[in-house]
Structure formats: C-alpha cells, structure tokens
Structure 1
C-alpha cells in the first residue's frame, strides 16, 4: 500500500478517536459540530537557556542548537500539540483544505516561529489530496503560512521591549508588599544562590537584582532538568524546590496576578481585546471576509504571553493554600472556544509531559456563571471590559499630562477665557476713550484760561498808562 494511503488511514483513525474524546469532554450538550470559532494562545516548546551562570557545570556546549533556541524536544512537543488539536477539531475544520481556515501568528523569535511551524505540521499534515511529492516528506508534510511582525514592533505577543510603562511596572514588582515579605523571609536562599552561582555581589544593588539572579539561575536549572541532567553539586532538592516556589510566585506578581489590573491590562489586555472583538464580529455581515472564513486563530508566543492573557481574564492567581499555575510550562495553551449560540468556554492545557493525551482543564472567568462550563459572550464581554486595552500604544506611554482632561470641560474653559479676554479688552478700551475725553476737555480749559489772562493784563496795563 502506498505510503500516502497509510498516512491518510492513520490520520483518519486518530481524528475519529479525537472527535469521540472531544464530544465526551464537552458539557452542556455542546459538540464539535456546534463550534463557531476557536482561538489558541500557546507558549513555545522546550528551549535552551539564554545564557549560563558562572559556575554552571554543563556550560554552553550541551546546547547544540544555540542559546535560547528551540530544542528537538520542543519541536516534538508542538508537533504533538498540533496533532492533539487536529484530532480534537476533526469535523470542525475542513478535512482537505484546513490551511484556508487556519490563521497562525507568531512573535518574531526563532523558538516561537519554529514552534508554530511544528504545530502546523501536526495540525495540517499532507494527505492524498494535498501531497506535493512522491517522497516521504511530500506525503506527510505541507507548507502552512506563519505570520509575524518585526520584533521591535511587537505589541501583541510580547510587551516589555516596546512598552515602557509595562517595563516600569515589571521593574517595580520587587517593591510590592508580598515581594518584600518573601525577599526578607528567604534572605538566606537569595544569599546562597547568589554566592553559589558565582554572581558578583557588588552587582546585586537592589532587591530586583537579586530576584532576577534567582530567576535566571532557576531558568537554567529547569532547562537542564527537562533534559534529565542532574542538579549541580552545590544544589540540593530542598533549595531547588524553594527556588521554584519563589520564582513562580514572583512571576505571578510581575504579570498581573490576583487582580493587579495595571499589570494585567498591559500584559494581555490588547490580546484579549482582539480575541473578544473577533468573537463579537464572527458571522456578522460587517466582518471582513477572512474572519468569516477563518475558524481557528493560533498565536505562538511566550510564557509572558500566556500569563498575560490568563491575568487579563482574572484567571492567573496564586495562593499559599492551593496549587498555582506558576510559570506556564512549555507548549502550555489557553483555549477559547465560541459556540454557535454565542456561548464561550475557556480552558487551559499545561502538561508538557502528556501533550498527546492530557485534556484541557476548564477555567471560568470571574463574573461568568459557575453552574456551567460555558459563559455567554455578552457576559464575557462585560466582565473583561476593565482588563481589555484598545489603544496599547497610548497606555504603554504611561500617564501623560492632559490624558485625564475632559474635552468638554476644556472647551468650556477656553470659551470662558476668551470671553473674559474680550470683555476685559472692551472695558479697557472704554476706559481709555473716557480718559482721553477727560484729558482733552481739561486741556481745552487750560488753553482758554491762558488766552484770557494775557488780554486781561493788557487791558489793565492800558488803563494804568491812561491814568498816568
């Protein structure tokens, strides 16, 4: 049997199994056939650390793809994730022309672009009708567009670089009361990690410097742990777990957890606004043609992208008494499904070790009914309004002089000022004219008196001369 037919049969078996599992997982009578629009926001797959700390026993040599790059593990994670959603949405997406119904957007980083490509390969493989070559690659893979913008212009899937106000809030996170408390109570842990990792103590000038050093070392350790490397000799399991706890909680604080509206709005508010707008416009006559044609929007971003979106949905909270999301895992994904009756379900898949089989966990945004897994779109629009951002460039500038001035009040004030100036000018003009008249009258009197007096003197003089 030709390879392409074997591939097609395998895909068919997988998709039928996936449809059955999806329909079993759907509640409130909804099935895959009731779907109207799906939007996915995920983190890239497993990557190498961005750099290594001074005393790192492994160094850079083990990361053969380069620092910060997607690893082979990461490629497999996203291929599996794409395959998972191919099975999940079988019957919703067109079996033979899925590429025209899917829009994929990635940030402009190698690891996110490659994750998006691997995801697309799993989601939309070649089949008998789309194969483009007789070799194995042509029978199993087909090109799928991945869209992006320049990194310097990225404001949807990554915020810190172009958003100065968000960067300021991130840098001030160490001053939050909970951050100060944790820093003080775990002073010994910070000191130990700074010393053991070989950091120069003179560079640790602020609490934020120490938090960043702990986060940096923890990131390197988690990258190594994902590749089954042993912890370095200087670190025991107890300290590693404490580092994990501190890094996870601080990540929550930086990206808008527990109702921190300012950070949540800038972290994910404009992405949430786009997602909500697409759901409101889907199926409407005013919607652009591509929106009515597209059934699945996919966004390939970062841990901060996923955390920011969850925070803007008020779903990224932490507590000492419950299990927290923490830093979203590799290939974690927020799933927003809109049904034909304009109800919405939000779920979160965050299990990198069981991507092919683990089911997403349904999460309910505050303000939505808790008696159902579905939230009416009109309700979701209302409860997310305080966290959605329409003009991200304006908010990223931070407070500016005049931002809170009411235009109507300004107009009234300007009209008042103009009237005062006009009335003052008129009054001054009247006063000056009146004063000029008085002066002219006074000058005329003086001239008359000066003319009379000489003649009077002349008459007196003539009378005196006659008397003589």
Structure 2
C-alpha cells in the first residue's frame, strides 16, 4: 500500500513536469466514450510536383537540409504543440498511462504525415512514471501504422481509387461546370501554361497553388508574373477544386466515405464493448484534403480557405442520459477553441444511430465504388 502511494505521488510530480496539465479544461469530458482526431500535418517544404522547372527555387538544394515535401522545424513544433493542447482538453479522459490498447495512430504514406503522427503522439502522451524509460527524456515511443498509398482507401483515396480522378474529370467536363470554370479560370490557366511551360490541368493548377504558398511562407521571393494569378484567382480555384471533389454522392463516398465508414464502425464496436479494453482515441495523420473533404461531404462547414497546417476535426463519442451520440468540432485556429459543428438534420449532440442514418448515403457499400464498378 505504501509503495502504491509513493508511486502515485512520484507519478503526479513527474507528470506535472512532463507536460500533464494540472486539471481538465474541457467541461464535457465526463461523458466522453471515444475520440477520433483527423488532422493535417505540420508546415512543410514544397513537393517537386508543386514547382515548375523554370522557378528560381526549383532545385531541392533550396530546401536543405530536409528536401522536397518534408516537415520544417516550425511544422514539427506545431504538431507537438497540438498534441499538448489535445492532452489539456482530454487529460482526465485519457489518463496518464499509455499502452497499445488506449490509442491507435494511423498515417498516410508520406514522411511528413508519419513524422506528424510521431510528434502529435509525443505531445499528447508524455511518459508517466510507469512509462518512463529515460529520466532525462520526456518522451516515449508510440507506434503508428500506415497503408501503402495505392491501398489506402480511408486516407489516400485519390491514390487508391482509380475511379476517383476519372469521375472528377467527368464532372468538370459537364457543360455547366465547364462553363463556370472556363469563365473564372481560363486566363489563369493560360498564364500558368505560358509562364511555367507545363501542361496545366485543374489538378496541376491546384498543386502549383501550394508551391507558391509554401515558397512565400519560406521567405523565397516569387517571380513578378505570379502576382497576376496568386493569391487570387488561384486561391479561389483551389477552394473550388475541393467543392468539385465532393460534388456528387459517389465522389463523397470515395473521398470521405471510406474514412467515415471506419470511424462509425470503430465507434459502434466501442459502444458494443468489443474494442480493446481501455481504447480512448484514434488519431489520423493526414492532409488538408482529408479535412476539406470530410467537412464538405458532411455539409457541416462552408469552406472559404485551405485548411491550415495542424487543423483538425474532432469526432467525439459521448454517452449522455444513457444515449450514445456524436459531437463534431473543427479547429482552424480562427478561434481559441475548436468550433462545434452541426450535422444537417440533427443537434450538436447527435444520437449515434441518427447520425449513422443521416450519413448513410455517402458510405460506400464495398470496394466497388473505389474500383470503378459503381457510378451515380
């Protein structure tokens, strides 16, 4: 008994110094059953595909020491700090002791998201006394897993589902959308083509937007001609592209439906008591497209900007008055705390079975939607 008391005291003191908050800061913690967190990676260098060959900063040496597409130090710090903020929000619910049953961490098959998964977990779960393996290092290794991009329907459906890009192209070519895009962006596309020497598709223009944005973030001057198309109208084209990717039921099923289906399945398993004992959280380390697509597919947020680095969606499962239900939140850092969202047809606390029924139309029935056997 004395040993247990001593251990508890040491754990308390060590926890306070290692990043555990002194008290809970989330008033709804007591009703929590499970939390799903879908978040964007941290600040990064540009991908080679988002640059053009005549760009003075095209060479990878400009992004030393990490290279194309990799997290910057600012991005690493951002992801770690988000983990600490989530620890503050869910401190009592999560508890201090980590084990493999408590947390599942999944990433896409990119270095920047894998590192973001590690950093988020480090901020979220500093070692308690029993987890401590190095007295001078407030960190513990926490495993994550990923699927190869070509197999990852949940987090990389644009890579895994051959049908997706074809369906996007078909939608863009419909007369109404083709006229809309031509009226708004033909001049932009022409300027990009002439100045970059590249064949400019809607996807390529979308990628180039991120190249310009990241180059600007890194303090690398943009060429003078870029001001004619960036930030506007290229920013508006980028936002329109998110809406295009979620404009039909089948597109929603592919780009968000597989992830949403997993979230609902894991939630139902938790409610039924079949998850590993003590499961508290699922972390998904992804991209801004994952965030934008889920918000738009659920019709819970009017997207006017690219989801920023470290933005996240919380899918909280609560049990209130013996009813299991879902609360949705989005953190884009326009406010201090995550914004509560409301699924159309439901309240902010949406009973689980009602939530499932309301989103049923955008849940894929099988892999056929991904593989191209189903069109709507």
Please classify the TM superposition score into its range, dividing by the shorter chain length: 0.7 to 0.9
Aligned residue for 1:282?
A: 270
**Residues 140 and 46 from structure 1, CA distance in 2 versus in 1: closer, same or farther, beyond 3 angstroms?**
same
Q: Taking structure 1 as the reference length, what is the TM-score of the superposition?
A: 0.70
1:389 aligns with 2:367: no
SS in structure 2 at match of 1:152: helix
Find the aligned partners of 2:300 and 2:314 in 1 and give their Cα distance. Answer: 13
Work out the CA distance in 2 between the residues paired with 1:336 and 1:74. 24
Query: Where does residue 300 of structure 2 map in the other structure?
Result: 315
Return the offset for 1:241: 2.4
What stretches of structure 1 of length at least 5 have no aligned partner?
Answer: 24-30, 318-323, 405-468
In structure 1, what is the equivalent of residue 96 of structure 2?
95
The worse-fitting range, judged by mean Cα deviation, of 293-302 and 116-125 is 293-302
The answer as to 2:310 corresponding to 1:331 is: yes
Partner of 2:340: 362
CA deviation vs aligned residue, 1:301-354 (integer Å, no higher than 9, x gap): 22232233223323355xxxxxx2443222221100111221211011123xx8
Separation (CA, whole Å) in 1 of partners of 2:306 and 2:177: 17
Question: How far does residue 6 in structure 1 lie from its aligned partner after superposition?
Answer: 7.8
Instruction: Point out the structure with the larger helix share.
Output: 1
CA offsets 1:372-425 (integer angstroms, 9 cap, x no match): x3112121011011111241x22122237xx99xxxxxxxxxxxxxxxxxxxxx
Contact 1:126 1:140 (C-alpha < 8 Å) held by counterparts: yes
Any idea what the Cα deviations from partners look like across 1:161-203, whole Å, max 9, x if unmatched?
A: 221111211333432423531322333222223223x214xxx
**Structure 2 contact 205–234 (Cα < 8 Å) conserved:** yes
Question: Which residue number in structure 2 is paired with residue 61 of structure 1?
Answer: 61
* In structure 2, C-alpha distance between the alignment counterparts of 1:56 and 1:9, rounded to whole Å: 49
Distance 1:349 1:147 in 2: 24
Give the Cα–Cα distance (whole angstroms) in 1 for the partners of residues 336 and 153 of structure 2. Answer: 31
Bigger radius of gyration, 1 or 2?
1
CA contact (8 A) 2:41 2:309 kept: yes
Deviation of 1:107 after TM superposition, in Å, equals 1.7
Equivalent pair of 1:252/1:316 in contact (CA under 8 Å): no
C-alpha distance in 1, partners of 2:148/2:189? 37
Instruction: Look up the match of 1:42.
Output: 39
Match of 1:451 in 2: none
Q: What SS does structure 2 have at the residue aligned with 1:276?
A: helix
Shift of 1:11: 4.7
Q: Which has the higher contact order (CA 8 A, sep 6+)?
A: 2
1:15 to 5, 17, 21: 21
The 1-side partners of 2:91 and 2:238 are apart by 39
Residue 159 of structure 1 deviates from its aligned partner by 0.9
Mapped contact 2:44–2:69 kept (Cα < 8 A):
yes
**1:61–1:268: structure 2 CA closer, same or farther, 3 Å change rule?**
same
SS of the equivalent of 1:105 reads: strand
Question: How many Å separate the matches in 1 of 2:179 and 2:14?
Answer: 56
Q: Residues 312 and 388 of structure 1 are in contact (CA less than 8 Å); yes or no, is this contact kept in structure 2?
A: no
Number of residues paired by the alignment? Answer: 358
State the shift of 1:237 in Å. 7.3
Shift of 1:66: 1.6
Runs of 4+ in 1 over 6 A off after TM superposition: 4-7
Gap regions ≥5 residues in structure 2: 1-10
TM-fit CA distance, 1:271: 1.1
Match of 2:279 in 1: 294
Instruction: From the superposition, tell whether residues 97 and 215 of structure 1 become closer, same or farther in structure 2 (CA, over 3 Å).
Output: closer
Q: Find the aligned partners of 2:91 and 2:21 in 1 and give their Cα distance.
A: 6
For the 8 Å contact 2:317–2:327, the answer to whether it is kept is: yes
